[in-house]
Structure 1
Amino acid sequence: MAAKVSLKYYLLSTRTTKGELPIYLRITLDRKKAELHTGYVSTTKDWNQDEQLTKGNHLVNQELAKKKAKVYELIIDLEKKNKPVSAAILKELLTGKQKVNIGLLAYFQQHIDEIKIRNEIKKISLNKYHQSFKSLTEFLLKKYKSQDIYIDQVDYSFINAYDLFLKEEYDLHKNTINKYHSRLRTILLKALAEGHIFKQPYANFKLNTVKTDREFLSQEEIDLLLKLDISHNQSLDKVKDLFLFSVYTGLRFQDAQDLTMNNLSSYKNKPSVKFIQQKTSRAIEIPLLPQAKKIIDKYKGSPERKVLNKLLPKISNQKVNSYLKVIGDIAGIKRSITHHVARHTFATTICLNNNMPLEDVSMLLGHSSIKTTQIYGKITQERLFNSINKIKGK
């Protein structure tokens, strides 16, 4: 037994009932103490503090000896299972107040249900938690052949294996993987605070952010997509249209998916869409360029329009990005495309390359600060050379 523990019985003198005082057990481990009532009493006259026994009551002394033996048994058992040992944990085990072990996914779902009830986070953030839950479900089935595991089984090796799973099975970028880890870490910190686990599995796991340039398509690459005829494959064709719609509006995927006919508007007879951004809860109106209006008109007879009043077809975000890889290959676009590249393309190629002021781009993107927009203000080769040529001509 590695843990060195001190066990001491004493009478709690501040509490008395008919001259009898409760017998308490003090557990000291690593200089930390925990105290608990044994359920037995004695009088100061009968209590022998040196022997820690009560005179003339063999049965009580026998039970006190058993309780000490139980403490040592618990320590040996915890050490065998490679679980943390502390005075507080031993007290909880002795009093039966230790938290009932709960499954990781069960606890994760409980957290999702709680934030739904409290309405603490936006729908888009809640969806991210659902994505994390789904990824953990798939990970447990693949790695452990199990539908759930106890939350106290989550350790460094679990975190490391989950990281590899997200990289290999989901093909996610390092920074996106970090967001999945961040959500799981939030759950585990809550479990730690509530006593379901006794150490943080992420303590030694480093989440290093990778600096990346914001990818966007050039006008030539946009033209390749506009010319691409994949109407023979409805799924790919829908994804191409969803991507191009965001290229010409700057909308995030979920905002575009939420648009209905009720969001259509106009300003001075020019078509636009009015909506509340999910991520920022900001009200915004975006003028519709002819290319975006053409895509809306294309789906006027779609089931989504007829039944749900939606402007655009519905499809899952995960499928969108996998389909975009296929579309990019068919179109001959060398760079990797995700749906968010469309928003970057709108900011850079559609707006900034056409000399739109940064302040206007910021308004269209719904940014609360122009500093956020400046990230999108990357000078493309085309814009750079155009500027130089203008200077040359003077």
Structure 2
Amino acid sequence: MIKRSITFDLEKRKKDGVLIVKNVPIRCCITFNRQRITMFTGHRIDADKFIQAKGMVKNGCYNEMGFSSSEINYDIEEMRSTLQEIFRKFEITNEMPTTDQIKEKYKIATGKQQAQEEKAGLFDRYKEFIDTIGRQNAWSDSSFYKHNSVMHLLQQYNPDLEFDNLDEEELQNILEFMRVEKNIRNTTLNKYLRFIKQFLSWAELKGYLKNADYKRYKPKLKGANFELKKVIYLTWEELIKLYTMEIPNIRLEQTRDVFCFCCFTGLRYSDVYNLKKIDIKDAKLNIITIKDVDNISIELNKYSRAILEKYKDIELKKGKALPVLSNQKYNDNLKELGQLAELNEEMTEVWYVGNKRMERVVKKYEVLTTHVARKTFVVNALTMGIPPQVIMRWTGHNDIKAMKPYTKIVDKLKEQEMKKFDEM
């Protein structure tokens, strides 16, 4: 009997004297015969999502690569089981292994030794792309998640898919699979195709992909252009009604305050979430945006100033300026708030799946999200006559084309106002 211990923990590494707690490697520690082996499991996780005493990830958690706790814990147990089997085989022969023998047997058992000798496949390269480019370009969690989603869709389409198969016809088949089997909208298909082409462009530069058919593949996806998407925003009257109304509880009141603050400043959710009191100086917000890493300055008006004043003396975590909830809770609360504010205007939402037009009638409160605040700011600012170039300095937009959907709304509003003269 070989006495041994196989445990799993997080790598302990410091940066500038501070223990790293984000995206930490999960390692396997094997001790036997006064020898110790440390092996990487292939997974990483945030420290607060790992149960150290049990050597496993907390239920319901995900890592930056999009792997769930169940997937990671399954791999951990598979690794433990494989190592136990290796030790049992040495016990049968009454042989005490060396650390190198355990490592070698593990590589053989898991196919890693053979895999290194074989040509890596398309999905191996996609994982490499996600890992290397994701870190190189400091992708957000959302970008990691989206690329992992696309990779998993490709695996569902054909688990044996290879670069040599990717001609224009195969790309069309992939989109057909996503549309027909997964009922994915054309707007989303358009995004997924961009992600696939981003990966293929990288693969071509690395020499993994030999044909460039993907560059010529430009399908016409009906309704996938930006202009089809309806811009949801609050009119000035709706905004002021929400801003001044009595709120029944603190949860909704705080959500209202944060939402209105964004309506009066144009901040994205990610930026108001990270806004700290030290970012407010000389009646201005001075921030570096999360999405585009732009250094922007936004002057306060009487509405945004009043909201900040309300929370000035309230101590919030990490020195935050406002009590911002998680994106999901925030969005859920917004729909409840919109219903209280009687934002019942009906609108038709239109999208396409292939050539089939789909539509549904919704009320405005049903489609309230964090991003509606930013759109509200832009539309109302344009309606007030503030030049687009000035608004862009506040919002961080770099292209005047981004203002086009909003200017169309304002032009329509002007047309409606002018017709009032005919009614006099």
**What is the TM-score of this pair, normalised by structure 1?**
0.54
Could you say if the C-alpha distance between residues 375 and 113 of structure 1 is closer, same or farther in structure 2, counting changes exceeding 3 Å?
same
Contact 2:258 2:322 in 1 (8 A): yes
Shift of 1:328: 3.3
* Distance of 1:238 and 1:347 partners within structure 2: 23
Contact 1:132 1:184 in 2 (8 A): no
Q: Mapping of 1:36-55 within 5 angstroms?
A: none
- Choose from 310, 327, 346 the match for 2:320: 310
Distance of aligned partners of 1:185 and 1:163 in 2 relative to their CA distance in 1, 3 Å threshold? farther
Q: CA RMSD in A?
A: 4.4
2: distance between equivalents of 1:161 and 1:128? 24
The aligned counterpart of 2:232 is 215
Match of 1:366 in 2: 396
CA distance in structure 2 between the partners assigned to 1:150 and 1:140 by the alignment: 10
> Which residue identity does 1:248 align to in structure 2?
F
Structure 2 Cα separation of the partners of residues 162 and 226 of structure 1: 42
| Residue 341 (structure 2) aligned to one of 307, 331, 336 | 331
- Would you say the 8 A contact 2:126–2:151 is kept in 1? no
Deviations along 1:330-376, one digit per CA (max 9) or x if unpaired, are: 43323333332222211122x12223233332332233454543543
| SS class of match (2:406) | coil
| Aligned-partner SS, 1:285 | strand
Partner Cα separation in structure 1 for residue 150 and residue 287 of structure 2: 33
TM-superposed CA distance for 1:194, in Å, is 5.0
Q: 2:191 matched to which residue of 1? A: 179
Cα 1:162–1:357 shift into 2, 3 Å? same
Question: Aligned match of 2:120 in 83, 97, 100?
Answer: 100
Q: Aligned-pair distance for 1:187?
A: 2.1
1:296 aligned partner? 308
Equivalent position amino acid for 2:219 in 1 = K
Q: Which residue of 2 aligns with 1:113?
A: 131
Q: Counterpart of 2:265 in 1: which secondary structure?
A: coil
How do 1:210-289 and structure 2 match up within 5 A? Answer: 210=225, 211-212=227-228, 213-227=230-244, 231-232=248-249, 234=251, 237-266=253-282, 271-289=283-301
Quickly say closer, same or farther: Cα 1:163–1:230, change in 2 above 3 A.
farther
Structure 2: how far apart are the matches of 1:161 and 1:324? 35
Query: d(CA) in 1 for partners of 2:297 and 2:402?
Result: 19
How many angstroms apart in 1 are the aligned matches of 2:395 and 2:385?
16
CA contact (8 A) 2:272 2:324 kept: no
Contact 1:151 1:196 survives alignment (8 Å): no
| Amino acid of the structure 2 residue aligned with 1:218 | T
Partner of 1:93: none
Query: The residue matched to 1:248 in structure 2 has which SS?
Result: helix
Distance 1:358 1:116, change over 3 A: closer
Shift of residue 327 of structure 1?
A: 3.9
Change over 3 Å in CA distance of 1:340–1:163 after alignment to 2: farther
Counterpart amino acid of 2:280? L
The one-letter amino acid of 1:206's match is: P
The more displaced of 225-234 and 237-246 is 225-234
Distance in 1 (CA, whole Å) between partners of 2:341 and 2:161 is 46
Question: How many positions carry a matched residue from both structures?
Answer: 276
Which segments of 5 or more consecutive residues in structure 2 lack a partner in the other structure? Answer: 1-115, 344-362
CA contact (8 A) 1:167 1:177 kept: no
CA contact (8 A) 1:129 1:183 kept: no
Tell me the CA shift for residue 383 of structure 1: 4.0
Match of 2:377 among 346, 364, 389: 346
Q: Distance in 1 between matches of 2:218 and 2:321?
A: 44
Instruction: Report Cα offsets for 1:303-334 as digits up to 9, x if no partner.
Output: xx533112233444455445544543443323
CA distance in 2, matches of 1:371, 1:308: 37
The alpha-carbon deviation at position 381 of structure 1 amounts to 5.4
Contact 1:273 1:287 in 2 (8 A): yes
Question: TM-score, with normalisation over the residues of structure 2?
Answer: 0.51
- Distance, in Å, in 1 between the alignment partners of 2:322 and 2:300 is 14
- Per-residue deviation, 1:250: 1.0
Name the amino acid aligned to 1:130.
Answer: F
Q: CA deviation at 1:248?
A: 0.6
Residues 196, 284 of structure 1: alpha-carbon distance in 2 compared, 3 angstrom cutoff: closer
* C-alpha distance in structure 2 between counterparts of 1:390 and 1:274, whole Å: 43
Identity of aligned residues (%): 24
Deviation, structure 1 residue 232: 3.3
Residues 232 and 204 from structure 1, CA distance in 2 versus in 1: closer, same or farther, beyond 3 angstroms?
same
1:284-307 C-alpha deviation (Å, 9 max, x unpaired):
2111223323333444576xx533
Highest Rg: 1 or 2?
1
